């Protein structure tokens, strides 16, 4: 057993023995990134691959081939990527030797996604890499592009014999495709996109990425629930009053105004990120941690979401814009796109019947905070004498902080020292960084290496994507039909619109203050 470390009153000891899951070493492969000169590649993908190189997690050998319209030489691109990785890496300064090893694996093919010559050059480059580096014909294609580029890329990959379709698990050489969100704009477009991709790849070859699922703190929801017998028996309608899931951002749309104005917070955050977190909180125990066992339980939760449509939308969902949004670059001066949403969601299962899940997400709020708060039932009877004493006894709250200051806190009641019977609310807090004394990996690191291993646990499955859109689309349709109602405004740096407070107050609840612990 390792030495114990104590931080914030939390003692941490490693559990001896083998890991719960013994992850296999990823096989050699070539990772082809379409959109190699884009923002996602520069800020997230290349830094993640560099970190994996430093950790010794990347397969050996590995080849990374970028595809894009950039006319620069490979050496010029490597120099620019080194600069951006130094800017966005969680490890500073850059390890020069590790970067040189990674840069040696990076290659580039210049050309348009519509240009046959680009795919001919790519095929020749990959064949050369197989011969000289031993990547064995294993391919991963990362579509770090807007969705409207997916069809032309997939069509050209297949036309030039770069894409193989197989349903056999563990088949080699493997061929996989990673697809970035947004995966559709509504149910119909998601179904159409799924049909399109299914023409080129089997479901087992498709990795739909949602970076929230790669966050250590999101993954820990399952371990926390099913690894602690003191909490799992309480994880139901008998002991939990309501659940609050929040994704608050302090920034506005920044330079993404044109994209955001056609998307909005419901599509950008709720349909994927928050519903995925809700599913992890609400799902039943899977039979194992195998990919489809976990995803089966999540899909069952999506199917159990009580529909919100028609007139119910106005009573269960609040939308709003921060003041000044319509003056942002790329935003229509008459825009009705919401930058904030709050909603009451019911999960119609035996475990959760009658327990509301309150979701809220927004930009330009008081502070950045993404977390889940489990609000337990209030005490049924006052034992502390005066009624006013019981007024200050707050129900216990368990908070799972996803970002920032990743960790777990528990609020409970204790007696205040002294000869009077006085009670106080106590907050017990654990942070991952202090407790485990190791940095938390970026989400894209975990997701990239999982795809290389062929582990789809943290990736969205076709039926899950469509069920989530089935729940969200009627809300979007109700908003589109109600185009005469003015959207509420809220001040930047606030907690959101008053209408959101009124929504949760109907059930005698209140939102966790964004400034509270």
Of 181, 184, 474, whose CA–CA distance to 317 is shortest? Answer: 474
Q: How many residues does the chain have?
A: 517
Predicted confidence band of residue 395 (pLDDT cuts 50, 70, 90): confident
Q: What is the pLDDT of residues 475-512, one digit of tens each?
A: 999 999 987 788 999 999 999 999 999 999 999 999 99
Which CATH architecture is the domain 29-180 placed in? Answer: 3-Layer(aba) Sandwich (3.40)
Of 490, 512, 497, 496, whose CA–CA distance to 411 is shortest? Answer: 512
Domain boundaries in the chain? 29-180, 213-383+438-443+461-505
What is the residue-averaged pLDDT of the chain?
88
> CB of 413 within 8 A of CB of 426?
yes
d(CA 288, CA 284): 11
Residues paired with 114 in a beta bridge? none
d(CA 310, CA 213): 31
Give this prediction's pTM: 0.90
- pLDDT value at position 477? 95
> Is residue 424 over pLDDT 60?
yes
Predicted confidence band of residue 167 (pLDDT cuts 50, 70, 90): low
**Annotated catalytic residue within 51, 242, 273, 375:** 273
Q: What is the pLDDT of residues 276-321, one digit of tens each?
A: 999 999 999 999 888 899 999 999 999 999 999 999 999 999 999 9
- For residue 97, what are its two tokens? 């030797």
Q: What is the pLDDT of residues 217-272, one digit of tens each?
A: 888 898 889 888 888 899 999 999 999 999 999 999 888 888 899 999 999 999 99
Task: Identify the three-state secondary structure at position 328.
Answer: coil
d(CA 17, CA 454): 25
Looking at per-residue pLDDT, the higher value among 16 and 207 belongs to 207
Task: Identify the three-state secondary structure at position 178.
Answer: strand
Residue 61: asked if its preceding bond is cis (omega within 30°), the reply is: yes
The pLDDT of 403-413, averaged and rounded, is 86
d(CA 429, CA 411): 9
Predicted confidence band of residue 5 (pLDDT cuts 50, 70, 90): very low
Residue pointed to by tokens 């407070």: 501
Cβ partners under 8 Å of residue 445, min gap 6: 48, 51, 52, 57, 214
d(CA 22, CA 227): 17
Q: What is the pLDDT of residues 339-392, one digit of tens each?
A: 999 999 999 999 999 999 999 999 999 999 999 999 999 876 666 555 555 666
Superfamily of domain 213-383+438-443+461-505: Dihydrodipicolinate Reductase; domain 2 (3.30.360.10)
> CB of 500 within 8 A of CB of 514?
no
> CB of 282 within 8 A of CB of 357?
yes
Looking at per-residue pLDDT, the higher value among 171 and 6 belongs to 171
- pLDDT value at position 8? 47
Looking at per-residue pLDDT, the higher value among 434 and 202 belongs to 202
Q: How far is CA 431 from the centre of its chain?
A: 20
What helix, strand, coil percent values describe the chain, rounded to 5? 40, 20, 40
DSSP alpha helix (H) spans, 16-138 = 39-40, 46-55, 74-88, 96-104, 116-133
Burial 361-378 (b: 16+ CB within 10 A, else e): bbbbbbeebbbbbbbbee
d(CA 191, CA 256): 26
- pLDDT value at position 6? 39
Is 273 a residue of the active site? Answer: yes
Q: What is the pLDDT of residues 67-97, one digit of tens each?
A: 988 888 888 899 999 999 989 888 888 888 8
Percent over 90 (pLDDT), the chain? 64
DSSP state of 148: G
Residues paired with 424 in a beta bridge? 414
């Amino acid at each position: 057993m390792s030495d114990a470390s104590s931080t914030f009153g939390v003692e941490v000891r490693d559990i001896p023995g083998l890991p719960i899951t013994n992850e296999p070493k990823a096989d050699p492969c070539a990772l082809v990134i379409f959109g190699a000169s884009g923002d996602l590649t520069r800020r997230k993908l290349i830094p993640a691959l560099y970190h994996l190189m430093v950790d010794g997690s990347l397969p050996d050998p590995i080849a990374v081939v970028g595809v894009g319209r950039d006319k620069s030489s490979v050496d010029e691109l490597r120099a620019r990527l080194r600069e951006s990785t130094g800017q966005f890496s969680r490890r500073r300064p850059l390890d020069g030797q590790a970067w040189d090893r990674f840069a040696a694996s990076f290659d580039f093919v210049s050309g348009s996604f519509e240009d046959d010559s680009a795919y001919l050059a790519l095929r020749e480059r990959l064949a050369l890499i197989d011969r000289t580096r031993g990547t064995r014909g294993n391919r991963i294609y990362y579509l770090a592009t807007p969705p409207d580029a997916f069809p032309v890329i997939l069509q050209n990959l297949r036309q030039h014999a770069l894409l193989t379709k197989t349903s056999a698990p563990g088949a080699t050489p493997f061929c996989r495709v990673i697809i970035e969100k947004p995966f559709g704009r509504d149910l119909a477009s998601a179904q159409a996109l799924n049909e399109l991709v299914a023409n080129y790849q089997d479901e087992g070859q498709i990795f739909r990425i949602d970076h929230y699922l790669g966050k250590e703190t999101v993954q820990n929801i399952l371990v926390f629930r099913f690894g602690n017998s003191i909490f799992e028996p309480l994880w139901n309608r008998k002991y939990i009053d309501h659940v609050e899931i929040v994704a608050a951002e302090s920034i506005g749309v920044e330079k993404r105004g044109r994209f955001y104005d056609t998307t909005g917070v419901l599509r950008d955050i709720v349909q994927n990120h928050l519903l995925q977190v809700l599913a992890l909180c609400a799902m039943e125990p899977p039979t194992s941690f195998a990919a489809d066992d976990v995803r089966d339980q999540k899909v069952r939760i999506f199917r159990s979401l009580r529909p919100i449509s028609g007139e119910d939308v106005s009573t269960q969902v609040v939308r709003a814009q921060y003041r000044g949004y319509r003056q942002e670059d790329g935003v229509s001066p008459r825009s009705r796109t919401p930058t904030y949403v709050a909603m009451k969601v019911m999960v119609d299962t035996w475990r959760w019947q009658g327990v509301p899940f309150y979701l809220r997400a927004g930009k330009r709020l008081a502070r950045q905070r993404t977390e889940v708060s489990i609000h337990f039932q209030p005490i049924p009877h006052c034992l502390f004498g005066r009624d006013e004493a019981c007024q200050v006894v707050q129900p216990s709250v368990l908070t799972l902080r996803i970002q920032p200051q990743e960790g777990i806190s528990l609020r409970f009641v204790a007696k205040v020292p002294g000869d009077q019977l006085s009670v106080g609310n106590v907050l017990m807090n654990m942070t991952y960084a202090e407790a485990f004394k190791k940095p938390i990996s970026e989400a894209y690191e975990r997701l990239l290496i999982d795809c290389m291993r062929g582990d789809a646990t943290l990736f969205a499955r076709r039926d899950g994507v469509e069920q989530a859109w089935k729940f969200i689309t009627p809300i979007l349709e109700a908003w589109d039909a109600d185009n005469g109602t003015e959207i509420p405004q809220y001040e930047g740096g606030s907690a959101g619109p008053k209408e959101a407070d009124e929504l949760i107050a109907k059930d005698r609840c209140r939102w966790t203050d964004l400034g509270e612990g």
